[in-house]
Amino acid sequence: MNKPFNNKAWFFVLPVFLLVAISAIIPLMTVVNYSVQDTFGNNVFYWAGTEWFKEVLHSSRFHDALGRNLLFSAIILAIEIPLGIAIALTLPKKGIWVPVCLILMALPLLIPWNVVGTIWQVFGRADIGLLGYTMLKLGVDYNYATKVFDAWATIIVMDVWHWTSLVVLLCYSGLVSIPEAYYQAARIDGASKWKVFKYIQLPKIKRVLLIAVLLRFMDSFMIYTEPFVLTGGGPGNSTTFLSIDLVKTAIGQFDLGPAAAMSIIYFLIVLLLSWVFYTVMENYGAEKPDSRVEQD
Amino acid sequence: MAQITLDNIAHSFDPYPTSEADYALKSIDCQWEDGGAYALLGPSGCGKTTLLNIISGLLTPSNGHVLYNNKDMTLLTPEQRNIAQVFQFPVIYDTMTVAENLAFPLVNRGIERSEIHNRVTDMLQTLELADKADRKAQGLSADEKQKISLGRGLVRYDVNAILFDEPLTVIDPHMKWQLRTKLKSLHEQFEHTMIYVTHDQTEALTFADKVVVMLKGNVLQIGTPEELFDNPAHTFVGYFIGSPGMNILPAKISGKSLKLGSVDMQLNKGYAELTGKTEIGIRPEFVTVTSASEAGSTGMKFDIESIEDVGRQKIVRGKVEGEIVNALIDEDSEIPSEPYAVFNADRICVYQDSFLVNGES
């Protein structure tokens, strides 16, 4: 703590600070500004304090949407993470098939969200869509516009199709960086395939997996376009996630105050859950800090 | 524990080798005794790691057979061959503790828990890691990690052989010394057959009972350190072993007489008619530097270019009859103003096309 303090360093941080201020902090403050005031137009504002926050936190509409979001993210992570790891493990490590597989994997990632939504919306229609028609012919009563389960299943399949590749590519990059000697040593130690995965591959891809989990969590928790394009949040309110509800409140009903309060709560939830994921995964399997201090 | 026989081993990484140059290993035949400590020594890319992986079963050779105690093992996996191998870079299981790391190969083989506990406790003592037994292996230093890699091989008392692939590369110099001494004492204690790959002659000569010198996929010589020093089977062995290496000079030989440039000398042994490229080799230790009067008729004018002090001795570098010659002399011996080099005739080796030729006395 006796290090000499050099204030010049602040000048080097200043440009980044200004950039972040303009791009993030100032817009965020506008939202904060809206969240504590009420307006009836004409640019006249009344102080509302924590009124909107209380309202949002106590509204069953918010609770329901939050519940849907949590369920959706949980399903997405539970499917995409194991599936991504499994696909990454089966990809070839060298040879001419590597670029072919990687490009095939990367293709869905290049497609914009709303296009993915439209593709599946058409794909699932019983009159013109291949999937909907096939389901109809197979005798399955599939209709995402009227049945809650079908709508959810369609959105989940859509997301899995769209984003599992990201997990695959991240895990693959982690897997190919494991030196061959680890596998050789494991063979010599007589380790089974499962043990190789548990003790070598999984610990070695832990860091990229953390990034994959965070990215997939944040993205799935902020899902908007797919359900919006598919059913606009329906049938009923069954696929009305926080983001859709937020847009309805802000632009549909023009309730700027509650919408701003909701945005901030939404943002804090994403931040909090990301932090929880990060901390849990970072500390899992790591040495307890006290024993390390003692040894050093 | 096993005697290891390599029967005509050749290996190519190309699935369809067309010429001799495609082979990383070219026809290797040798037999390694049970309980011996062998070092595979050679420059980078000579095929020593390939040979080691063939012995351990990580690689299947293109041709030939690997036998343990006269049983063919060529197509068996490393597990089935029951060998241990330590790699250049320490391999540890990050999420396990030191003790769990050591227990891992035993757990995989379904050995009883009490037995595992005893062996691991023993090994922790031997490796001086007892105080760190319950720490995660992840946070240890490189040499401690390498000790764990080593320990995972040694806890399996019944292994046929322990193979080392340049295991001390990443270790600090003073720890290198300690670990090497440790390896030697472990070898004496357990009497496993040990094979040690290295490109460092000091490591090879101090560790091994017998050194296998390799070059470009061939085994040039297998011998004790003394044999490699006194009678290198190939000019490369002479040059590679020793510091500085053997002096190799082109010469003409007929019977017992030797002609080096313009100088005639007598050898102690007679040689049959030699064809091809004929050379002699003489170790710098057996070259003396004297004055013209003391040199006598066998002295050759020595054009000295540099003198290096290497502790208790000095290396005199120069030319004799236009060829580069190094001499190793005592630190305090005087170098005359007109120096002459004298070769000890007993210590001259004769090479035909780079291979040693034995004379008859």
For A88-107, write each residue's pLDDT tens digit: 999 988 888 999 999 999 99
pLDDT computed for residue A85 by the predictor: 95
Closest chain A C-alpha to B43 CA, distance in angstroms: 21
- Better pLDDT: A165 or A236: A165
Mean pLDDT of A153-170: 92
Residue with tokens 């926080």: A242
Mean pLDDT of A17-25: 89
pLDDT computed for residue B16 by the predictor: 79
Res. A291: pLDDT tops 70? no
Domains, chain A, ordered by start: 62-240+269-284 (1.10.3720.10)
Which of B58, B95, B104 shows the shortest C-beta gap to A189?
Answer: B104
pLDDT computed for residue B86 by the predictor: 86
pLDDT computed for residue A272 by the predictor: 92
Query: B88 and A181: CB-CB below 8 Å?
Result: yes
Long-range contacts from B70-78, C-beta under 8 angstroms, 24+ separation:
B70/B3, B70/B5, B77/A187, B78/A184, B78/A187, B78/A188
Mean pLDDT of A150-158: 90
Mean pLDDT of A155-170: 93
In chain B, which stretches have pLDDT less than 50?
none
Residue B109 in tokens: 């083989």
Res. A168: pLDDT tops 80? yes
pLDDT digits (tens, 9 = 90+) for B227-242: 888 888 888 888 888 8
Residues with Cβ within 8 Å of residue A198, at least 6 apart in sequence: none
B-chain residue closest to A290, CA distance: B135
Residue A190 in tokens: 């007589």
Res. A287: pLDDT tops 60? no
Which of B83, B91, B108 shows the shortest C-beta gap to A181?
Answer: B91
B244 preceded by cis ω (within 30°)?
A: yes
Residue B197 in tokens: 């790959």
Mean pLDDT of A98-120: 88
Strands (E), chain A: 37-39, 45-47
| R_g of chain B computed on alpha carbons | 25
pLDDT computed for residue A196 by the predictor: 92
ipTM over 0.90: no
Count of Cβ atoms closer than 10 Å to residue A41 Cβ: 6
**H-helix or E-strand spanning residue A185:** helix A180-188
Res. A288: pLDDT tops 60? no
Q: Is B29 on the interface with A (CB under 8 A)?
A: no
B-chain CB neighbours of A281 within 8 Å are none
pLDDT band for A285, please (50, 70, 90 cuts): low
pLDDT band for A290, please (50, 70, 90 cuts): very low
A-chain CB neighbours of B56 within 8 Å are 188
Pairing of strands B161-165, B193-198: parallel
pLDDT computed for residue A176 by the predictor: 92
Query: B87 and A181: CB-CB below 8 Å?
Result: yes
**Cβ distance A257 to A35 under 8 Å?**
yes
pLDDT digits (tens, 9 = 90+) for B67-97: 887 788 788 888 788 888 888 888 889 888 8
Residue A143 in tokens: 């209709």
**Cβ distance A207 to A173 under 8 Å?**
no
pTM above 0.90, yes or no: no
B-chain CB neighbours of A199 within 8 Å are 93, 95-96, 104
pLDDT digits (tens, 9 = 90+) for A228-281: 888 888 788 888 888 888 888 888 887 888 888 888 999 999 999 989 988 888
Domain topology for B247-357: OB fold (Dihydrolipoamide Acetyltransferase, E2P) (2.40.50)
Residue B29 in tokens: 């035949």
CATH class of B4-240: alpha beta
| Annotated domain spans of chain B | 4-240, 247-357
